[in-house]
């Protein structure tokens, strides 16, 4: 059976990595507003053009835009049996909009998995992050380096660093998280949906903690 999940946590907490493992285990899609927005920027769609200026400085794009993206995405049939929201909601306004749209569809969130990692570790993780241009596989210069520098071990394509993973932008993204997104822990805690998970540890260890809290 599937779950309706939110992965909550600062950039670099491991949300994307854990989402990939949960997709395999539960056969439910990952819905990442960051991925959808980056694709719109690459394709230079009208929303992509207006979005880029926010992403480049580590700010949030306007609520209306991401709420519309999520509305469309949640209507697709692949999320009928569950979904993993990764990077959404990021503001209280987005969380309110989400609960209204789910309510209309007769659904609700089952768990908000809140991944915590300290500030210095987040900086280290994100600054070394690399992604394959072709297959999207993620690497890390220190923690998970590719076999050949600069090339994807899976498909041999070029690896790149996200523009917003540079140190100055990352510091701005962490500040944005603290001021605008961190209040969601209280929001979901008061709804008894918050499930804190220690984001420090190996990828399988963290995955085990998440699976244990879902399956009891
Ligand atoms: P991410 O890949 O989740 O770290 O997102 C990268 C960037 O996309 C963020 O720094 C924001 O500029 C933008 N973004 C992603 N999701 C949202 C959201 N839910 N609300 C506002 N901006 C977002």
Query: Does residue 90 line the site of ligand 1, with CB under 6 A?
Result: yes
| Pairing of the two strands 138-140 and 129-132 | antiparallel
Task: Annotate 63-84 with b (16+ C-beta within 10 A) or e (fewer).
Answer: bebbbebbeebbeeeebeebbb
Q: What is the pTM of this model?
A: 0.91
**CA 33 to centroid of ligand 1, rounded, Å:** 6
Query: Does residue 60 line the site of ligand 1, with CB under 6 A?
Result: yes
**CA 148 to centroid of ligand 1, rounded, Å:** 30
Q: What is the dihedral of CA 173, 175, 179, 181, to 10 degrees?
A: 30
Active-site positions read 15, 90, 129, 162, 173
Q: Splitting the chain (216 residues) into consecutive groups of 10 residues, what average pLDDT does each group show?
A: 93 94 96 94 88 94 96 94 97 98 96 96 91 91 93 96 89 96 98 97 95 94
Residues 6+ apart with CB under 8 A from 42: 48
């Amino acid at each position: 059976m599937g779950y309706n999940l939110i992965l909550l946590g600062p950039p670099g907490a491991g949300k994307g990595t854990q989402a990939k493992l949960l997709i395999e285990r539960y056969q439910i899609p990952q819905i990442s507003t960051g991925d959808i927005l980056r694709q719109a920027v690459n394709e230079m769609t009208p929303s992509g053009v207006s979005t880029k200026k926010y992403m480049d400085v580590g700010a949030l794009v306007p609520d209306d835009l991401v709420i519309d993206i999520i509305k469309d995405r949640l209507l697709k049939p692949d999320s009928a049996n569950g979904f993993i929201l990764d990077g959404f909601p990021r503001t209280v306004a987005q969380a309110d909009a989400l609960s209204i749209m789910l309510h209309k569809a007769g659904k609700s969130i089952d768990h908000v998995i809140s991944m915590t990692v300290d500030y210095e570790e987040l900086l280290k993780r994100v600054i070394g992050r690399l992604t394959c241009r072709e297959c999207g596989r993620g690497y890390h210069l220190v923690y998970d380096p590719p076999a050949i520098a600069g090339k994807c071990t899976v498909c041999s394509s070029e690896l790149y660093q996200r523009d917003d993973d540079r140190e100055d932008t990352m510091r701005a993204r962490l500040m944005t998280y603290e001021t605008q997104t961190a209040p969601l822990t209280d929001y979901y805690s008061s709804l008894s949906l918050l499930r804190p998970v220690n984001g420090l540890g190996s990828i399988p260890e963290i995955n085990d903690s998440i699976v244990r809290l879902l399956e009891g």
